[in-house]
Amino acid sequence: MSGRPARLLLHLVLPVAALLIIPVFITSFRGQTQATTAVIYAIVGLGLGLVYGQLGLLAMSHAGLWGVGAYTAAILMRELDLTFWPAFAGAVVVSLVIGAVTALPAFRLKGHHLLIVGFIVTELIVVVGQQWESLTGGITGIVVTEKPGSLFGADLASFPGFYYLSVGVLLVLVAFSAWLRHLPLGRRFVAVRENTQLANSVGLDDRVLIIAGYALSGIFAGAGGALFAVNLEQIQPDQFGLTAAILLPLVVMVGGARRLWGPVVGAFIVVVLPEVIGLDPEDAQAVNGLLLIAIILLMPNGVLGGLGPIRERFTRRGQEEVPVEAAS
């Protein structure tokens, strides 16, 4: 198999089929929760992949932005008595705006300095969530009772309905990411990543592009936050603190920051694999740390990047056979 059919199979058919078939093999309540959580991590990871993979900036503030989306949706549903979808849209809009604001440190800071400031921004958002008790519920958080309802007779409030709803959102955002990569804006992101000074010299304003990248990543964080709040039914500030700030980059790096499906693969490896092999949360954190070290040393481009040569061989095998057939 070669050419377009092979690319279609590898880049679309197999990933979508894998996502859709997962509920067939998961029967435990914990496993079902983990599978849905992995999809949500993949959604948020796609946004971080946009900033890190395309712009080359590792935004450690993305976990806080995820929390902004979750709290926005929960507060809108509680205070304004909105249903899920208007609250979902509100979370996306607010996270987009806050995402643009969190881009400001990236104007002057790079490398480990940007990482440190990103951690600070995330912790600041967590502290606001803990202290603003009248709005956020403080350290006890907010109980979320609103559910998405039903669609074409399918119950979206529980597994597998909510899982498939989350997968649907994920696939829409994967398509959006793929479309963005082929736009002039996406190519300008890559130009800034590869050589900022050269990009500036040809008229590209890296500050505008950084704001645009962070703002667009807020769409993913807001969507993931709204789904996360409904999935767990209760959110607390600590859920979006240091642990999430580390796990999200791990998800992106393990799968492959510059690969479209990288965060999706990374999310299932980081979130679901420990559950499959029966690790408790503390052991899972240790395994994730070792996994990150192994990925950095052995597969710096992530799992999908490391499998690139195999994929290329698969898609080009038919093309290589043509001269042989012609000669015979």
- pLDDT value at residue 94: 96
- Chain Cα centroid distance, residue 9: 23
Over residues 93-129, the pLDDT tens digits come to: 999 999 999 888 887 777 777 888 888 889 999 999 9
Share of the chain above pLDDT 90, in %: 43
Query: 324 pLDDT band (50/70/90 cuts)?
Result: very low
Alpha-carbon torsion (48, 49, 52, 56), positive or negative = negative
Tell whether the model's pLDDT for residue 316 goes beyond 60: no
Cα separation, 214 vs 232, in Å, equals 26
- In the chain, the domains with their CATH numbers are 3-321 (1.10.3470)
- pLDDT value at residue 91: 97
Higher pLDDT among residues 157 and 246, named by residue? 246
Across 227-254, average pLDDT: 90
Q: Which SS3 state, helix, strand or coil, does residue 300 take?
A: coil
Cα separation, 108 vs 129, in Å, equals 28
Q: Which helix (H) or strand (E) holds 142?
A: strand 142-143
Average pLDDT value for the chain: 84
Share of the chain above pLDDT 70, in %: 88
Cα separation, 63 vs 221, in Å, equals 8
- pLDDT value at residue 313: 54
Residue where the block lists tokens 């040809």: 202
- pLDDT value at residue 8: 60
pTM to 2 decimal places = 0.88
Tell whether the model's pLDDT for residue 57 goes beyond 70: yes
Read off the amino acid at residue 132. Answer: W
